[in-house]
Amino acid sequence: MNIVVCLKQVPDTESQIKIAPDGRSIVTDNIKWVMNPYDEYAVEEGLRLKEKFGGEVTIIGVGPKRVTESIRTALAMGADRGILVDDPAVADTDPLSTARVLKAVINDLDSDIILCGKQGVDGDYGLVGSSLAELLSIPQISVVVKLEVSADGSTVRAHREVEGGIFVIESPLPVLITAQKGLNEPRYASLPGIMKAKKKPLDVKTLADLGLDPSEVGADAAKIKIMQITPPGQRKPGKVVEGETPQEKAANLARLLHEEAKVI
């Protein structure tokens, strides 16, 4: 079974984000870049499928040279090879154009299952997976928390959380799956894995290598454009509800909600 995992590199969620002077981007100096957390679940699921059915796990990333660090992390976890699309034209692209670039790479691969994180924690669009499946004309199942593949490797049963229960969807292969937290517990890269990752193939491609015109996937082709980034508004400080007993605290809370918050 051949598995493809689409990976994105994002700022560490613990990094302090500052808005750049242009008001439409962030300051990237001194930011720690990491593999998108939801993509970690996708990588782990791909590795588990490989361990069960055999085959190969290919990692694809789109972005500048630094993205190789995250691809190497996936290789150290156990993936077999990586492909990076590094081209200045994709710097300010949108999810649809990113999907077009990924499609161009995947067209040359024999893939049974394509795995993505359900969304990137930076832009939070959650559109690349569904756009990619549409461009590839294959079924997709999103926000998956459990994945079962038939013994003959011809179909999958994916579990999605819905309000009050679990929604189970069956699909033939090839299929695209977007991973949700809870799908698995991603493994850590071992020291031997890190050493092996240095020798695993990692190809770097440009748009020209993929036969893509920058005007079709670059900033000019973007359907979504960031006009302005603003910081969240300042929150008022919280208030501690005083009282000697639970009953007294409850009474004071009710009074504050009525007199100050005016919600009851």
**Mean local confidence (pLDDT), 95-111:** 94
Average pLDDT of 42-56? 95
Return the pLDDT at 224: 85
In the chain, where the domains are located? 2-221, 238-264
3-state secondary structure 132-168: HHHHHCCCEEEEEEEEEECCCCCEEEEEEEECCEEEE
Distance CA 149, CA 173 (A): 10
CB 59 within 8 A of CB 80: no
The pLDDT, as a whole number, for residue 250 is 94
Which of 56-65, 143-152, 231-240 has the lowest average pLDDT? 231-240
Specify the pLDDT at position 99. Answer: 95
Q: Provide the pLDDT for residue 264.
A: 84
Q: Say if residue 37's pLDDT is above 90.
A: yes
Measured CA to CA, the distance from residue 1 to residue 96 in angstroms comes to: 27
pLDDT (average), residues 32-44: 95
pLDDT of residue 130: 95
Instruction: Kindly indicate whether the domain formed by 2-221 is annotated with CATH number 3.30.420.40.
Output: no
pLDDT at 225: 84
State yes or no: pLDDT of 107 exceeds 90.
yes
pLDDT, tens digit, for every residue of 67-83?
999 999 999 999 999 99
Per-residue model confidence (pLDDT) at position 234 = 82
**pLDDT tens-place string over residues 203-232:** 999 999 999 998 888 888 888 888 888 888
**What is the predicted pLDDT for the residue at 29?**
83
- The pLDDT of residue 26 is 85
Tokens of 240: 């501690």
Cα 176 from Cα 96, distance rounded (Å): 16
In the chain, % of residues over pLDDT 90:
67
Q: Which residues contact 11 (CB under 8 A, 6 or more apart)?
A: 17, 26, 28, 31, 32, 33, 34, 122
Question: Which residue in this structure is represented by tokens 């588990």?
Answer: 48
